[in-house]
């Protein structure tokens, strides 16, 4: 991609309403544009990052037998009235449809997925069943000032598993837990697993939390055994596991997995005929992961005073190629040649080919945008390719061949 063609260019200053670091940097670098509090346009760079995160999540969900579907955001209120959540969920968006019907915008999808499963699951042979989606959610959040961390419209992966008994469900829960750890490892986002507190459905329930000062949650971590719990169940300052001292740290909840209340299956009559011909209630689990929140959390954790520092696996491009002094024909030709060679090897390159931007502006933009590897072509090249990792201070010089190999490792 040539930067001269990329929509839009970087901003000198963050928008006045951008309070959080992720909003400021993502807006300045041209990843997102806020349309109103909690609702964002994903610009070309931002959409690339979001898709890279989604693809990793999708691969790991498929690997544990998940089948991808997409359920509607626009829903009839009927099922919501049935579960009582039409009145009890305070962040629910309610609207009127044709003929004055009551509709909702889905903040989660139990009210769709249970009736769906109930329609198709008949016998124990239809179970287990793992359905997931990567889809937009709507929640009327009171405070939506933390950029992508708290959207009113946001992207979530939600997986629902249906089983013939609790033992099978608990076994699968453990598989999902491991898949989540793999996802966060592949994305490069550090997480701690915390036991979720209060009003949860079972002891199995847990969250995946990224420790960072900008987090809105507080998790308590034992200095002795690393056991972590979230705020609600933490009474006193002693670890419930080993008696060690615990310390509170701010954190972002990026994922949450838990068994679902039997009440949903009962409400929607989600039953199956077991091997003895008995009508039996289905056992279920729910597994959420905030795709767009992960993108915001990455920026909160990986940035410096100059800009974003993306992990390689989710960066929009792998190499940011800067052409300096392109008004000189020989330099321009060399920069184009390096660009084409990288592309021919399948390396994702953003080529800053602008002739009307200074070297200083190009370096500043590269730091702000945060692509993992930066390479410069200028008249100083003299057969060696200057390059630098965004996360390093030191520049290195390699032969063009060596540099292309280095780019391909990413
Ligand atoms: P929170 O306590 O932060 O409001 P939650 O516990 O209500 O979140 P869940 O219903 O567990 O959220 O949703 C699953 C995942 O979706 C969360 O772990 C989080 O990563 C993400 N998520 C929830 N609400 C938002 C939001 N408003 N904006 C972006 N991501 C969100
Ligand atoms: Mg949660």
Q: Is 85 in the pocket of ligand 1 (CB under 6 A)?
A: no
Closest ligand 1 atom, CA of 207? 18
Q: Is 156 in the pocket of ligand 1 (CB under 6 A)?
A: yes
Is the predicted pLDDT of residue 331 greater than 60, yes or no? yes
Count Cβ atoms below 10 Å from residue 324 Cβ, excluding itself.
Answer: 21
The pTM of the full predicted model, rounded to 2 decimals, is 0.97
String of DSSP letters for 361-377: HHHHHHHHHT-SEEEEE
Listed in sequence order, the residues at least 6 apart from 295 whose beta carbon sits closer than 8 Å to its beta carbon are 22, 26, 46, 49, 50, 53, 148, 314
The torsion angles phi and psi of 362, rounded to 5 degrees, stand at -70, -40
What residues pack around ion ligand 2 (CB closer than 5 A)? 256
Listed in sequence order, the residues at least 6 apart from 252 whose beta carbon sits closer than 8 Å to its beta carbon are 149, 209, 210, 212, 214, 215, 216, 217, 293, 296, 297, 300
Distance CA 209, CA 255 (A): 7
> Which pLDDT score is estimated for 200?
44
Chain-centre distance for alpha carbon 46: 12
pLDDT digits (tens, 9 = 90+) for 222-268: 888 888 888 668 777 788 788 888 899 999 999 999 998 899 999 99
Distance CA 228, CA 357 (A): 49
Count Cβ atoms below 10 Å from residue 334 Cβ, excluding itself.
Answer: 19
Model confidence at 197, pLDDT cuts 50, 70, 90, reads: low
Structure tokens at 206: 């847990």
| DSSP character at residue 262 | H
Contact (Cβ atoms closer than 8 angstroms) between residue 229 and residue 193: no
Distance CA 50, CA 255 (A): 16
Is the predicted pLDDT of residue 203 greater than 80, yes or no? no
Q: Is 253 in the pocket of ligand 1 (CB under 6 A)?
A: yes
Q: Is 150 in the pocket of ligand 1 (CB under 6 A)?
A: yes
Is the predicted pLDDT of residue 198 greater than 50, yes or no? no
Q: Is 292 in the pocket of ligand 1 (CB under 6 A)?
A: yes
String of DSSP letters for 23-40: HHHHHHTTSEEEEETTEE
Average pLDDT, stretch 395-408? 94
Distance CA 379, CA 360 (A): 16
Peptide bond into 128 cis (omega under 30): yes
Percent of the chain with pLDDT over 70: 97
Distance CA 50, CA 33 (A): 14
> Which pLDDT score is estimated for 202?
58
Structure tokens at 312: 């390689």
Closest ligand 1 atom, CA of 216? 3
Distance CA 386, CA 388 (A): 7
Average pLDDT, stretch 378-385? 88
Average pLDDT, stretch 58-75? 99
Distance CA 365, CA 241 (A): 48
Average pLDDT, stretch 63-86? 98
To test the pocket of ligand 1, the residue of 20, 141, 156, 196 to mutate (highest count of ligand atoms within 8 Å of its CB) is: 156
Is the predicted pLDDT of residue 409 greater than 80, yes or no? no
pLDDT digits (tens, 9 = 90+) for 263-307: 999 999 999 999 999 999 999 999 999 999 999 999 999 999 999
Is the predicted pLDDT of residue 201 greater than 60, yes or no? no
Contact (Cβ atoms closer than 8 angstroms) between residue 270 and residue 114: yes
Q: How far is CA 109 from CA 70, 112, 166, 178, in A?
A: 10, 5, 21, 23
Contact (Cβ atoms closer than 8 angstroms) between residue 31 and residue 9: no
pLDDT digits (tens, 9 = 90+) for 168-181: 999 999 999 999 99
Q: Is residue 119 classed as helix, strand or coil in its secondary structure? A: helix
Q: Quickly list H helices, 243-356.
A: 262-267, 291-301, 329-344
- 230 closest CA partner among 204, 248, 257: 248
Distance CA 111, CA 118 (A): 11
Q: How far is the CA of 175 from the centre of ligand 1 (A)?
A: 21
Q: Where are the beta strands (DSSP E) in 164-204?
A: 192-195
Q: Is residue 134 classed as helix, strand or coil in its secondary structure? A: strand
Q: How far is the CA of 207 from the centre of ligand 2 (A)?
A: 7
Q: List 116's β-bridge partners, or say none.
A: none
> Which pLDDT score is estimated for 304?
98
Listed in sequence order, the residues at least 6 apart from 294 whose beta carbon sits closer than 8 Å to its beta carbon are 53, 187, 189, 254
pLDDT digits (tens, 9 = 90+) for 99-126: 999 999 999 999 999 999 999 999 999 9
Count Cβ atoms below 10 Å from residue 90 Cβ, excluding itself.
Answer: 10
Pairing between β-strand 283-290 and β-strand 303-304 as defined by DSSP bridges: unpaired
pLDDT digits (tens, 9 = 90+) for 150-169: 999 999 999 999 999 999 99
Is the predicted pLDDT of residue 65 greater than 80, yes or no? yes
Pairing between β-strand 373-377 and β-strand 319-323 as defined by DSSP bridges: parallel
Percent of the chain with pLDDT over 90: 88
């Amino acid at each position: 991609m040539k930067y001269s063609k990329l929509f839009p260019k970087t901003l000198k200053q963050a928008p006045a309403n951008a309070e959080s670091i992720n909003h400021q940097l993502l807006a300045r670098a041209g990843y997102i544009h806020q349309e109103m509090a909690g609702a964002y346009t994903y610009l070309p760079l931002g959409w690339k990052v979001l898709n890279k995160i989604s693809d990793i999540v999708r691969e790991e969900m498929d690997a544990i037998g998940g089948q991808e579907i997409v359920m509607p955001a626009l829903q009839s209120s009927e099922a919501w009235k049935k579960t009582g959540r039409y009145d009890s969920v305070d962040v629910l968006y309610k609207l009127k449809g044709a003929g004055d019907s009551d509709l909702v915008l889905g903040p989660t999808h139990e009210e769709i997925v249970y009736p769906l499963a109930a329609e198709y699951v008949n016998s124990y042979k239809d179970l287990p069943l793992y359905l997931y989606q990567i889809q937009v959610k709507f929640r009327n959040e009171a405070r939506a000032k933390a950029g992508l961390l708290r959207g009113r419209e946001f992207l979530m992966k939600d997986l629902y598993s249906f089983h013939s008994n609790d033992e099978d469900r608990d076994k699968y829960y453990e598989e999902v837990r491991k898949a989540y750890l793999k996802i966060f490892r592949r994305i490069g986002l550090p997480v701690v697993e915390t036991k979720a507190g209060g009003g949860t459905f079972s002891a199995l329930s847990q969250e995946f939390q990224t420790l960072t000062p900008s987090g809105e949650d507080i998790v308590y971590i034992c200095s002795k055994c690393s056991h972590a719990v979230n705020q609600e169940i933490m009474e006193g300052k002693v670890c419930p596991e080993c008696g060690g001292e615990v310390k509170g740290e701010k954190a972002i909840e990026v994922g949450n997995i838990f068994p679902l209340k039997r009440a949903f299956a009962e409400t929607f009559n989600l039953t199956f005929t077991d091997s003895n011909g008995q009508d039996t209630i289905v056992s279920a689990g729910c597994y959420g992961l905030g795709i767009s929140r992960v993108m915001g959390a990455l920026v909160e954790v990986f940035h410096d005073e100059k800009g974003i520092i993306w992990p390689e696996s989710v960066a929009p491009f792998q190499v940011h190629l800067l052409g300096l002094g392109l008004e000189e024909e020989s330099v321009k030709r060399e920069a184009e040649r390096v660009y084409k060679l990288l592309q021919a090897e399948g390396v994702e390159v953003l080529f800053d080919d602008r002739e009307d931007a200074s070297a200083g502006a190009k370096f500043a933009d590269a730091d702000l945008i945060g692509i993992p590897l930066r390479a410069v072509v200028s008249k100083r090249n003299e057969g060696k390719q200057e390059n630098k990792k965004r996360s390093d201070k030191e520049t290195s010089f390699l032969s063009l061949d060596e540099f292309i190999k280095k780019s391909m490792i990413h």
